Amino acid sequence: MKPPSLFLLTVLATFAVLPCPAAESASDKASSQKISSIIGGAAAKVNKLDVEGALKHVHPTAYSEYTHLPQKALVAIDKKTLLEVCKAIFPSLRIRVGPPQNLKVVVKGDMAYATYKSNERIGDGPPMMVRRTEIFVRENKEWLLTHSHRSILQGE
């Protein structure tokens, strides 16, 4: 019998040390569904000008965002200030947010991230496809949004 080639041994050794993706636990699946519900619910509440409802799951003291309106540096803002700003500008902007598309939620213990796209419109402006990435942390059994990034996708 011929000994295995060095290439074959290298391939086998590589696969032996690669981590295998674990099946999603029931707890992670429930958390993923909860976060999906938070995201979908927030969009619906923005459209009804229910700012407090839309921002209910924003972390009270540890929230930051990058946004496209206009593109600017990372902004850290407490929930109280964020609520005041959004209540002041949302009615005049007439923001409309579509449901999340291609939503993917990944849960890793007490941290999760979500990526998705949504159609958005400001006032009578043209619809924009917006890509979003959001990071959540679990504190006291509640998922809280701690970071958000939005980018307008060109040509979509």
Residue-wise pLDDT for 74-84, tens only, equals: 677 888 888 88
User: What is the number of structural domains in the chain?
Assistant: 1
Q: Which domain holds residue 102?
A: 25-152
Cα distance between residue 122 and residue 128, in whole Å: 9
Q: Is residue 119 part of a domain?
A: yes
Cα distance between residue 98 and residue 92, in whole Å: 18
Residue-wise pLDDT for 109-150, tens only, equals: 999 999 999 999 988 989 999 999 999 999 999 999 999 988
Residue-wise pLDDT for 9-68, tens only, equals: 454 444 444 444 556 688 889 999 999 999 999 999 999 999 999 999 998 888 888 765
CATH of the domain at 82: 3.10.450.50
Q: Is residue 53 part of a domain?
A: yes
pLDDT at 17: 44
Q: CA torsion 42→63→141→57, rounded to 10°?
A: -20
Q: Is residue 127 part of a domain?
A: yes
